[in-house]
Amino acid sequence: MTDDYALFARYYDFMEPWIAPARSAVTRAVRAAGCRRVLDVCCGTGTQAADLRRQGVRAVGLDLSKAMLAQAGRKAGLCGAALVRGDAARLPFPDAVFDGLILSFALHEKPAPVRRAMLAEARRVLTPTGRLFVLDYACPGSLAGRMVLAALSLVERKAGSEHHRAFRDYMNAGGTDAFLASENWIALRRRSFGKGTVVFYETVRHKNVST
């Protein structure tokens, strides 16, 4: 299997200073929610999982890319976060084993059927009271936000044509706000970053949705 992120993994961490405030918000929300065992799906180079582990959270980072996990291993090795290679749409874990699950910049890069499968898997592996934390792109309302999003689109293009196509389709459909609403997840908290181009949701599964 070809690793589509082998080249991109080398440059992924250069984006971290821009993402850092949003990642810090995720860590604070996880701790405030009292989550003790958290799965970071599509963990990339492991920054979020490593940060959580340093804060005393039992974090597991999952990614399909060997290159991303190799980068993550350098961070995880310093703080004890566990790393697993696996498919976000077919998680290699039993039901109801995590009380927190993070999807950080993971949804926009997948086709719609895969995104839906990822949320179905999130429901499956979360406990009944578990929290889903989503950090991903939103559709900004201001001119400044749209300019930032145009620049981000160029960065997304560097990850490959399929990745960029999924990103474009995701944004054309309304971004993270529209997608989570369509999948019947309800928001406890919402916060935006980067002139409205990035949104952070702390959500909980809708009680009327069956597993």
pLDDT (tens digit, 9 = 90+) per residue, 109-149?
999 999 999 999 999 999 999 999 999 999 999 999 999 88
What's the confidence (pLDDT) of residue 18?
A: 66
Assess if residue 173 is contained within a domain. Answer: yes
Task: Please report whether residue 209 resides in a domain.
Answer: no
User: Collapsing DSSP states into helix, strand and coil, what is residue 169?
Assistant: helix
Residues pairing with 200 in the sheet = 135, 191
Query: Which single residue is written with the structure tokens 């697993």?
Result: 84
**Per residue in 139-150, pLDDT tens?**
999 999 999 888
**DSSP sequence for 58-80:** EEEEEES-HHHHHHHHHHHHHHT
Domain containing 102 — which CATH number? 3.40.50.150
- Looking at the 3D structure of the chain, how many domains does it have? 1
- Residue 210: inside a domain, yes or no? no
**Which pLDDT belongs to residue 44?**
87
In a domain, 1, yes or no: no
What's the CA gap between 5 and 140, in Å, rounded? Answer: 27
For residue 16, the enclosing domain spans: 8-204
Q: Give residue 13's pLDDT.
A: 52
Q: Which residues of the chain have pLDDT under 70?
A: 1-18, 76-78, 158-160, 206-211
Q: Is residue 146 part of a domain?
A: yes
User: Quick one: pLDDT at residue 10?
Assistant: 52
Structure tokens at 211: 């597993």
If you search the block for the tokens 């958290």, which residue do you land on? 38
Specify the pLDDT at position 74. Answer: 78
Contact 202, 144 (CB under 8 A): no
